[in-house]
Amino acid sequence: MAKINVLDKEIAIYSYNDDDYISLTDMVKNIENGLSLIEKWLRNKNTIEFMGIWEEMYNPDFKSTEFEGIKNQAGLNRFVLSVKQWVEKEE
């Protein structure tokens, strides 16, 4: 796993199938309430739609039926989705 240094903070870069992915948790771990930023980002309907499109394109095991339930809830005040929940639902 490679790492880059941004403003004196190490951020992991994960490689998969010749593509690189930057760790969002590394990017926010030194920011006050950083993880809540990711949680708020995951509540956004546009984020959920983007993630669904990405999964359709790159995940042959994508559970589109499961995703539709998530997408229908996204944007509602009561909607909450953690990274762990996303991974569990889309595994």
Q: Do 26 and 48 lie in a common domain?
A: no
Token digits for 37? 């930023």
Evaluate whether 83 touches 38 at the Cβ level (below 8 Å): yes
pLDDT for the residue 49? 95
* Whole-prediction pTM: 0.75
Which range marks the domain in which residue 3 is found?
1-30
Q: Are residue 7 and residue 37 in the same domain, yes or no?
A: no
The per-residue pLDDT for 50 is 94
Local structure of 23: helix, strand or coil: coil
* Count of domains observed in the chain: 2
- Provide the pLDDT for residue 79: 92
State whether 79 and 40 are in the same domain: yes
pLDDT digits (tens, 9 = 90+) for 15-60: 988 889 999 889 888 888 888 888 889 999 999 999 999 999 988 9
Q: Are residues 48 and 85 in the same domain?
A: yes
Pair 22, 38 in one domain = no
DSSP SS3 for 18: coil
The Cα-based distances of 8 to 21, 28, 69 in angstroms read 19, 13, 40
User: Could you tell me if 22 and 13 are in contact, meaning their C-beta atoms sit under 8 angstroms apart?
Assistant: yes
Residues 2 and 44 both lie in one domain: no
Nearest-Å Rg of the Cα atoms of the chain is: 15
Q: What mean pLDDT comes out for the span 5-16?
A: 91
35, 25 in Cβ contact below 8 A? yes
66-87 average pLDDT score: 90
